[in-house]
Structure 1
Amino acid sequence: MTNVAGHLREQNGMYQMILSWKDTDGKRRTKSISTGLPVKGNKKRAESLLRKTQKEFNPETMQQVSDLPVSEYLNRWLRESVMNLPPETYGSDLGRVVVPYFEKKRLSLKALSPRDLETFFRYERQQEEASVQQLLDWHKELTDALQYAVDNNWLKVSPIKEVDPCLDNSPVLFTDFITDWLKMMKSRVEITTYTSYERAIVHKIVPYFEPLHYTLQDMEQHPKYIQDFYQHELDRGLTANTVIHYHANIRKCLQYAFQIGMIRSNPADRVERPRKEKFKSEIYSGEELEQLFKAIQGDPSEFGVIMAAFYGLRRSEVVGLKWDAIDFENKKISIQHTVVTAKVNGTLTEIARDKTKTKSSCRTLPLIPACEQMLNKMKKEQEQNRKVCGKSYCTDYLDYIYVDPMGKRIRPDFLSQHFPDFLVAHQMKRIRFHDLRHSCASLLYANGVSLKEIQEWLGHSDISTTSNIYTHLDFSSKVSSANAIVNIFPENAKV
C-alpha cells in the first residue's frame, strides 16, 4: 500500500490538507484538499480530518484524473475544492453552463486545449449572447479549476492561460471549423443529407486542407486557396458536378462563419466554380419497354422495373411501398413512404421513413388493372412463402410489398446493381435503373401529356425540373411541330 504523507497549511483563513506520495514511476505527487474549516479554533478537527483522509486516500485513483472527461473533472473540483467556500465565491453558472457545454464534447482533461476553450467562449458570446461579466466570471472559475489540476500534477500547464474570453482574434483552422460545423449540421438536416456532407468533408475536403494549416482568415484573404482545391480535384479526374457538390459544402460552412462574425465575407462567393455538366440520360422507347417487360418476367427486379417504367417511381419509392398504400377498393396507389441507404458511422444502413424526397413527391396515382393483378399475385405468393418457410420467414417486413421469398425487404442498391447486369445478360441497350423514370416521362410527353401533368405524375416540386430534364427527350414531337407550320412559309422559301 502506498504511503501517503500529509500536513496542514493555512490559506485565506482556512485549513488546507496537503497530501504527498510517490507514483509508480517514483515521482513525488501532491494534492491539496480544502478542509472547509476556518483556522481559528479548528486545529484539532483539521488534524483529525487529515489523518482520516490520509488513511482513505487512494493515489492510484488520483493518477487517473487527467483521463476524466472535462465535465466530470469540473464537477469533482467543485465538490472537493469549493463546496465549503462562501456561495458568492463561484457563480452557479459553472455547473449550469460550463459543465453541460463540455459534457457534449466528450473531451478528457488531458486533451483540453486552448482552442477548445476559445471555442467555448466564442459559442457563449455569439450563440448565447453572454455578457462580458459572465465571460470573465467563467474564465476566472476555469482558471482556478485548471490551476488546481496543475498543482496536483494532473496537467503540466493550464490551457487557459493565453485565452482571452472576450476576443475573436484567435486564429481558427479552416479544417477545425468545418469539422465542428459538420457536427452541428448532424442535428439540423436529414441523415441522408448529413452522410452526403460527411463523405465530402471527412474524406475529401479535410484531407486536402489539413496539411496546409489555413485559418479561416487565410481563406477569407485568399479565395484562390479554394480555387486551387477545385482544380486539384478536377485534375485528379473528378467530374465537375462532384466538385460543385464540394463547393456547396464549403460555401455553406463559410457562410455560417460569416453569419457569426468570424469572417467579414464569404470567400467561396469569390471563386469560379466549375461549369455544371448536363447529364443526358438514355431512355427506352415504347417498343424497347415492351421487350423489357417480356424479358423481365420472373426476375427478382420485375416489380421494381414495372413500377419505375410505368409510374415513374424512384427506387426509394418502389422499395418503400407498403400494402396499406394500395387502395384496392378505390383503385389508388399512395406514394408516401421511402427506403434509402446511407453510410452512418461508416456502416451502410437502410433508412425507412414516412417521408418522400420532397412534399410534391407524396402523391396518389391510379391503380391500373394490370398492376392490381400483379399485386394480388405477389400477396398470394408472400402468404404461401410464409407458410412454407415457417419460423425461418422474416417477419420484420410484413407490411412491405417488395420482399424476397424469405420475407426480407429488397434493398434499394439491389435494383441499381442488378438491373444493368440483367440488360447485359439479355443483350439489351444499357440504361440505368433511374432512366426507367426518364423513359416514363418521355412516353408521357410524346403522347401529349402536359408538363404540369408530368410534374404531378413524377412528383417534382418545381415544373422547371420537369422541363429541364424531359423536354429534349422526344425529337419526333419537334418534327411534328415543324411540319405543322411549314405550309405557311412563302413559296420561294419551300424546298
Structure 2
Amino acid sequence: MFYTHEINQRGVSGNTVLHYHANIRKALSDAAKLKLIPYNPAAEVERPKKDNFVASYYSADELMEVLPIFANTKMELPVMLAAFYGLRRSEVIGLQWSAIDFERKIVTISRTFERINVDGKMVDVSKCRTKNKASFRSLPLIPAVEQALLKAQKRQHQQMKLCGGSYCKEYKDYICVDDMGHLVTPDYVTRVFREMLLKNGFRPIRYHDLRHSCASLLIKNKVTMKEVQMWLGHSSFSTTANIYAHIDVDSKMEAANMIASKINLGELPEKKKSPKQKIA
C-alpha cells in the first residue's frame, strides 16, 4: 500500500501521510463530481493515523556550547534566530531588514520564504504573510541577536561595495544571505546544520528542533503556556499544550507537592476500635 511504503521505506511521518490522504481524497472526489471517474476510490481507504509527536530539544547548556560553532558563518543568524525566537525555517529565511526596528528594539515576523518543487523545477515562493494569523507577531530584539544583526548588516553593505556588479541584488532586502548576496536556501540550512553538529561531536537534532529548544527553555523558566503560544506563533493554545505539555514538569511537581501536603497519610488519626460485643 502506498501509505505503508511511504512510512516504512521512505521514512515519511504519519502526519505527512495524513496530508497525502486528504489531498488525494479531495482530488478524486472532485474528479468523481466532474464525471471523470465513476466514483472516489479513496473514500474506502482507511484514514492514516496521526503520530503522537514528542519534540527533541537542546538544554540551555547544550545551546551555549553549540551556538559558537556557527559564529562568523552564514549559518550564524539562521541558528540564532531559531534558538532565541523559535522561528520556523520559512520565517528565518523570509526575514527582511525592514522587519528589524533597531530604534524600538522590535523584530516583526510578517513573511515567509520557501523553495518548492514544481514539475521538477525548484521555485522560490516568497509570501508577505505568515503560516497563520497568530504567526504574525512582534517580539523584543534580544541584545545578542541585535549585535549579530548589526554585524551582518555591516558586512552585507561592505560586500555590496566590494563585489560591485557581481553582487546579487535580488535578495538585498533579506537578512540571511551569503557574501555574494545569494539567499541562504532552506535545504542548505537543514543540511549544514546537521553536518556541523556531527562534525563537532554534538548530539544531532533537526534544525526545526531549535524551535522546540526555545519553547522548552521558556516553559522551564516559568513562562506560561499561553505566552509560549504567542512567542512561537501557534494558531491555538491546544497546539502548544499538546506539543509541550510533557516538558512542563515543574508545574506538575508543584501540583504533586500541593496534593501531598493536603493528603498526608502519615498524619491520619488512628482508627477507633469498636467496643467488644458482650456475650449473653
Q: Distance in 2 between matches of 1:472 and 1:333?
A: 29
1:441: Cα distance to partner?
A: 0.9
Which of 382, 386, 389 is matched with 2:163 structurally?
389
Q: TM-score, normalised by structure 1?
A: 0.50
Within 5 A, what are the aligned runs for 1:246-265?
Answer: 246-257=20-31
One-letter amino acid matched to 1:333: V
Are the counterparts in 2 of residues 389 and 406 from structure 1 also a CA contact under 8 Å? yes
**Offset of 1:286 from its aligned partner?**
1.2
Shift of the 331–271 alpha-carbon distance from structure 1 to 2, 3 Å rule, reads same
Residue 436 and residue 380 in structure 1: after superposition, are their counterparts in 2 closer, same or farther (change >3 A)?
same
* SS of residue matched to 1:441: helix
| Counterpart in the other structure of 2:217 | 443
Q: Secondary structure at the match of 1:348?
A: strand
- Using a 3 Å threshold, how does the CA distance of structure 1 residues 388 and 445 change in structure 2: closer, same or farther? same
Match for residue 230 of structure 2 among 456, 475, 485: 456
For 2:144, what is the secondary structure of its paired residue? helix
Whether 1:311 and 2:115 are equivalent positions in the alignment is no
Structure 1 residues 327-476: aligned runs within 5 Å: 327-476=101-250
**Which residue of structure 1 aligns with residue 274 of structure 2?**
none
What's the Cα RMSD here?
2.6
Report the CA distance between 1:429 and its aligned residue. 1.3
Q: What runs of 5+ residues in structure 2 fail to find an aligned partner?
A: 269-280
For residue 61 of structure 2, the aligned residue among 287, 290, 312 is: 287
CA distance in 2, matches of 1:428, 1:420: 9
Alpha-carbon distance in 1 for matches of 2:81, 2:33: 45
SS in 1 for 2:98: helix
* CA positional deviation for 1:434: 0.3
Residues 42-441 of structure 1: pairs in structure 2 closer than 5 A: 229-230=2-3, 239=12, 240-257=14-31, 268-441=42-215
Q: Which stretch of the first structure deviates more once superposed, 265-274 or 293-302? A: 265-274
Q: Distance in 2 between matches of 1:237 and 1:408?
A: 31
Give the distance between the partners of 2:9 and 2:105, measured in 1 at CA: 52
> Which has more radius of gyration?
1
User: What is the CA-CA distance between 1:458 and the residue it aligns to?
Assistant: 0.9
CA contact (8 A) 2:74 2:177 kept: no
Question: In the alignment, which residue of structure 2 is the partner of 1:488?
Answer: 262
Whole-angstrom CA distance in 1 between matches of 2:161 and 2:218: 41
Q: 1:230 to 1:339 in 2, by over 3 A?
A: closer
**What CA distance in whole angstroms lies between the structure 2 residues aligned with 1:275 and 1:447?**
34
Q: Say if 1:385 and 1:406, in contact at 8 Å, map to a contact too.
A: yes
Instruction: Give 5+ residue unaligned stretches, structure 1.
Output: 1-227
SS at match of 1:341: strand
Residue 345 of structure 1 deviates from its aligned partner by 2.3
Matched-pair contact (CA < 8 Å) for 2:74–2:184 = no
User: How far apart in 1 are the matches of 2:191 and 2:129?
Assistant: 24
**1:419-460: CA deviation from partner (whole Å, max 9, x where unpaired):** 011111111111100000011111111122222211111111
Number of equivalenced pairs: 267
Change (3 A) 1:233 1:424: closer
Distance, in Å, in 2 between the alignment partners of 1:431 and 1:235 is: 21
Secondary structure, counterpart of 2:253 in structure 1: helix
**Aligned partners of 1:382 and 1:367: how far apart in 2?**
20
State the alpha-carbon separation in 2 of the partners of residues 306 and 232 from structure 1. Answer: 37
Q: Distance in 2 between matches of 1:403 and 1:322?
A: 10
Would the alpha carbon gap of residues 283 and 390 (structure 1) be closer, same or farther in structure 2, given more than 3 Å must change? same
| Letter of the 1:253 counterpart | A
TM-score of the aligned structures, taking structure 2 as reference length: 0.85
Secondary structure of the corresponding residue to residue 437 of structure 1: helix
**Aligned 8 A contact 2:74 2:176 in 1:** no
For the residue of structure 1 that corresponds to 2:222, the secondary structure is coil
Question: Which one scores higher on RCO, CA 8 angstroms, separation ≥ 6?
Answer: 2
The one-character-per-residue Cα deviations of 1:171-228 (angstroms, maximum 9, x if unpaired) are xxxxxxxxxxxxxxxxxxxxxxxxxxxxxxxxxxxxxxxxxxxxxxxxxxxxxxxxx5
Question: Could you say which residue in structure 2 is the equivalent of 1:75?
Answer: none
Preserved CA contact (<8 Å) 2:110 2:128: yes
Q: Which runs of 4+ in 1 moved over 3 A?
A: 228-243, 257-271, 474-477
Give, in whole Å, the separation in 2 of the partners of 1:443 and 1:267: 47
Alpha carbons of structure 1 residues 235 and 468: separation in structure 2 relative to 1, 3 Å: closer
